[in-house]
Amino acid sequence: MSERWVIFDACSLINFYASGFFESILSSFKTQSCIVEQVKKESLFVRKPSDLQSMYDYDPIILERYTQSGQLKLVKLETEIEKDLFIKLAKRLDDGEAATIALAVTREMDVVTDDKKAIQTLNEEAPNIETLTTLDIMKDWCENTLMRKEDIKLALENICICANYEPRKNHHLFQWWTSQLI
Amino acid sequence: MSHKINSQDPLALGRRLQKARKSLGFTQQWVADHLKIARTTLTAIEKGERVIRPDELVQLAQLYNESINRLLRHPDASGQSEPFVVQFRKTLSETDGQEIEHAIHEFQKLCEDYVYLEFLTNSPLSKKYPPVYEIGNFDPVKRAEDVATAERNRLGLDDGTIADFAKILENEVGIRILGMPLPSKIAGLFAYSENLGACIAINSKHPVDRQLMSRIHEYAHFLTHRMKVNIFVLKKSTTERFAEAFARFFLMPASGLQRRFHEIKMTKNGVITPADLLGLADLYFVSFQTLVFRLEELKLLPKGTWDNLSEQHFQVRKAQDILGISQKGGTNEINLPYRYRAMAVQAWNSGKLSEGQLAKILRTDRVHAREIIDNFIDRDTINDQGEEFSVVFEDLSQPI
């Protein structure tokens, strides 16, 4: 990973929060991680298994603890150039995604997203900006923090169940993902 | 770099902003004051004569509670017609209030999203509208029976029960049917515009059997007053006599109901019990009361049967429980048709919608949106390009 700031899109933020190890993941970054204001305003939830079989309760994602401690910085569009780019991208993407990419491009941050359309848009707009996925971050976290095998498995299972996320079979780390869940 | 939004047709954007403002009932002066700009500047923006600045657009989007993406996305599904809420305002009384206006506004947005999905997936809704039926000076009840029979024949329904009327209206007629929470006294809404076509919203808070009657009631309105908006309020009104009669004739055609009733009587040695009637009501997806009134109308039951049962404090719900007939209540949620959800997932899977856009269009959060995706996509199947197959989108109007 580069030394640039890292900005999370909503889709990856949900996954990391759901893992149950969000604080550890944030601490593992060498640089600052952030989210854009529009993402914070979205109503984001994660699942938790309820007492009823095959049913779930849903918990809202609460980020105050992480933003107040400074582990996760809240950023907003400030300059005319950033707002111009945001508007341009908002024709194609949801507001949160557009703002995330606009700031990533103008402030040269690495973007963490799993969304196909967001990745495609970013590649067209700024091919020099690195796109990272949930699995890229999780693999780095596992290796850099020397997590126990049981904790890695738990984190990935939580992402599956609580965020209802599974990588596509053609993801470059799909084999790594499946090997950790055995 | 320019500080104005020059990648967007200013006239088209101005028109959308004006529609959003009018839908919310805001005056130009009020909006201009909020933005701290002159009213003439706002007028120029809405006419496309002055290109809007990014920060102005962001402020307007917040004021109109609208996402920038929705304001800018192409194409503008609403077209040139007046917003629904402007059409409905002509029929609303002063006491109807903000609640119903907000519901109408949401109704329009759902219909626009529906059309937008059809654009993304190249699956336009095929409109097979019948000619408008005139009521004229005919007795509305007799006319309702004639029109109900004609429509059943036209739709190839014979005289049996109807399993999924919403699907029939979408596939065979080309009407958009949505379920959404509405104020309790409102059973349904009907609206029509050139771009969106005929659209019906049914109150999802009402019991399922009531929703079906309301759907047919609004269909009656479509058949007879196509260009005029309608609010179906649950109260007796002579102007609704045609629609109410049409609903019961369409849902419970005389020949089919008479045949079933006599078949039951024959197997029970001429005796009909409340249990038989409850089963029949369940078969026709109507309330027990509605069925009894219809049987009284057809003289299959003595007039006053319902009144007698009421006086004897016959408890319908308890009887349904004993017989194991499930009572399908309403919900406070938006019910999006299968076709709508399938197109949304299809658009996401082909990279035309992002996850954020998908969640918004499905009116849910992202995790629930992922669950909806799971209902349509088989994650265990992958094609040669490394992409997941989706369930083939079921559109009966499309060629094979």
Structure tokens at A25: 């993941």
> Given the DSSP bridges, would you call strands A110-112 and A6-8 parallel, antiparallel or unpaired?
parallel
> For B189-206, what is the mean pLDDT?
92
Reported as a single tens digit per residue, the pLDDT across A11-56 is: 999 999 999 999 999 999 989 999 999 999 898 999 986 655 567 8
Place of tokens 């890695």: A152
Q: Does A165 touch chain B (CB under 8 A)?
A: yes
Q: Which residues of A touch B73 (CB under 8 A)?
A: 91
Nearest CA in chain A to B366: A44
Superfamily of domain B1-72: lambda repressor-like DNA-binding domains (1.10.260.40)
Q: Residue A166: what residue type?
A: E
The verdict on a CB contact (< 8 Å) between B365 and A45 is yes
User: What's the half-sphere exposure (Cβ side, CA atoms, 13 Å) at B95?
Assistant: 1
**A window 40-99, beta carbon within 8 A of B:** 42-47, 58, 80-81, 83-84, 86-88, 90-98
**Sign of the Cα pseudo-torsion (B262, B267, B272, B273, in order):** negative
Q: Which residues of B touch A117 (CB under 8 A)?
A: 351-354, 357
Structure tokens at B173: 């007629």
| Residue B75, pLDDT above cutoff 60 | yes
CA B221 vs. chain centroid, Å, equals 13
Q: Does A21 touch chain B (CB under 8 A)?
A: no
Domains of chain A as residue ranges with CATH: 6-134 (3.40.50.1010)
Which carries the bigger pLDDT value, residue B19 or residue B305? B305
Reported as a single tens digit per residue, the pLDDT across B110-158 is: 999 999 999 999 999 999 999 999 988 888 999 999 999 999 999 999 8
Reported as a single tens digit per residue, the pLDDT across B249-271 is: 999 999 999 999 999 999 888 88
**Sign of the Cα pseudo-torsion (B99, B101, B107, B110, in order):** negative
**Distance in Å, alpha carbon of B67 to nearest chain A alpha carbon:** 7
Tens-digit pLDDT string for chain A (182 aa): 557 899 999 999 999 999 999 999 999 998 999 999 999 989 899 998 665 556 788 999 999 999 999 999 999 999 999 999 999 999 999 999 999 999 999 999 999 999 999 999 999 999 988 899 999 999 999 998 988 999 999 999 999 999 999 998 899 999 999 999 98
The verdict on a CB contact (< 8 Å) between B388 and A94 is no
CA A8 – CA B383 distance, rounded (Å): 30
CA A15 – CA B174 distance, rounded (Å): 40
Residue B286's pLDDT is: 92
The closest CB to that of A120, out of B74, B351, B374, belongs to: B351
The verdict on a CB contact (< 8 Å) between A98 and B371 is no
CA B24 vs. chain centroid, Å, equals 21
ipTM of the complex: 0.95
**A window 101-130, beta carbon within 8 A of B:** 114-118, 120
Phi, psi of B99, rounded to the nearest 5 degrees: -60, -45
> For B231-245, what is the mean pLDDT?
73
Structure tokens at B285: 């997806």
Q: Mutation test of the interface with chain B: which of A9, A89, A115, choosing the one with the most B Cβ atoms within 10 A?
A: A115
- Cβ pairs bridging A and B (under 8 Å): 109
CA B158 – CA B57 distance, rounded (Å): 54
